[in-house]
A = this chain, B = another copy of it.
Amino acid sequence: MSNIVEKKQSEFSRAEPFRVAVIGSGNWGTTVAKIIAENTNERPEEFVRDVNMWVYEEDIEGRKLTDIINEEHENVKYLPGVKLPKNLHATPDLLAVASPADILVFNVPHQFLSRILQQLKGKIKPTARAISCLKGLNVEKNSCQLLSTQIENELNIHCGVLSGANLAPEIARECWSETTIAYVKPKDYRGKYDDVTPFTIKHLFHRPAYFHVQVIEDIAGASLGGALKNVIALAVGFVDGLNWGDNAKGAIIRLGLREMIHFGHTYFPGAKSYTLTCESAGAADLITSCAGGRNFKVGREIAATGKPAEQVEAELLNGQSAQGIITAAEVYEFLSSKGDLNSYPLLITVYLILKGERSAECIPEYFNKTEDVKHWED
């Protein structure tokens, strides 16, 4: 080993390596846990090698899912066919996973977050840091909160955000992709030998061969794309269901991007346009989601068959929900409370189509109003 490498490693060594816990084990949770365990295995000076992953226990043909994961190193339920590192351990005990951890990586469905945070309150290290891999917003009638802010407020710990063009099955197969992690310096930062730094983040999540991590500081920008893209993916599904072709899909995506940026500027003044256009968490995630994800498929079926959204969701998703349908309603309610519906013709039209109050065919009507010609002085 060369001197340069030794020096580089020692810079990140510490007396007590960070213990990392992953909260959640769906296909994305398991994929992220795989990445993390691969990295902790390669950097024992920086991280405790063993990574614990909290698994909501299920019975799989008479065996416990946690036993299967720990014995066969495969999440046969949510990520079948992908071998997991042997230093990744599944456990059904949330507090056993979370309490000793220095770094908590949250990766559960949005709707379970509040309950989990209630269970963790007062039971984790006060010095712990967190990364949220959740997509969504915590919308109530008059307020719109980032999920990382909810984690910070409930647990009183500092929290960053991971978001990007990240279809889990592709990353699990180690196809090249990128992500964005937004993490700012905590107010009570303890210095680079005792605290999580951007280097810690990069070392924990970056895989040179297949998962490229860009660390930025724009938490709101990185979060908004992941939340709003699902609504736009529904709209792209609508025009695909109507067979309008690739021009119309490109048009919907650019209109969506414009409304995302405007939403960020208006309600999260720190959010940067650059994050939404030029980072993985922005346009790249939007484009990837509009190429064929769950929300896209639901939108396509609604427009092609004329069936109500609830029926399509029930038929296509086997009891799961299309996040975009929930987000569209939340965003509508929020913008309505702010008296700001007119600035978001695409987001609002998607909601009205889902409610059955508009047909997908009338999407174009909503756009020419906002983009009229300016007069020149003679």
Please list the residues of chain A having a beta carbon within 8 angstroms of any beta carbon in chain B.
165-167, 170-171, 173, 175-178, 185, 189, 191-192, 197-199, 201-202, 208-210, 212, 214-215, 239, 243-251, 253-254, 257-258, 261, 273, 277-280, 282-285, 287-288, 291-292, 363-364, 367-368, 371, 373-376, 378
Contact = CB atoms under 8 A, between A and B. Distances in A.
A245 B373 contact: no
Given A202-B373, A247-B171, A212 B257 contact: no
20 contacts: A165-B247, A165-B251, A170-B247, A173-B245, A175-B245, A175-B247, A176-B244, A176-B251, A177-B247, A177-B248, A199-B373, A201-B373, A208-B368, A212-B368, A215-B374, A246-B288, A250-B288, A257-B283, A273-B273, A283-B283
The complex is assembled from copies of this chain, and their number is 2
Given A165-B251, A254-B278, A278-B261, A185 B376 contact: yes
A54 to B, nearest CB: 26
**Among the interface residues A170, A192, A245, A250, which one has the most CB atoms of the partner chain B within 10 A?**
A250
Contact of A251 (B177, B215, B258, B363): B177
B249 A288 contact: yes
A244 B198 contact: no
B165 A378 contact: no
A364 B212 contact: yes
Given A287-B287, A376-B189, A248 B175 contact: yes
Nearest to A286: B250
A258 B284 CA distance: 11
A376 B288 contact: no
Contact of A257 (B175, B273, B277, B292): B277
A277 B288 contact: no
A353 to B, nearest CB: 15
B364 A251 contact: no
Contacts of A202: 373
A246 B167 contact: yes
A81 B315 CA distance: 38
Contacts of A244: 170, 175-176
A292 B245 CA distance: 11
Contacts of A285: 250
A277 B276 CA distance: 10
A31 B1 CA distance: 64
Contacts of A171: 247
A166 B247 contact: yes
Contacts of A249: 287-288, 291
Contact of A170 (B199, B208, B245, B375): B245
Contacts of A185: 376
B214 A245 contact: no
Contact of A214 (B253, B283, B371, B376): B371
B278 A197 contact: no
B284 A273 contact: no
B215 A373 contact: yes
A280 B364 CA distance: 14
B288 A367 contact: no
A208 B367 CA distance: 11
Contacts of A261: 277-278
A244 B167 CA distance: 11
A263 B167 CA distance: 30
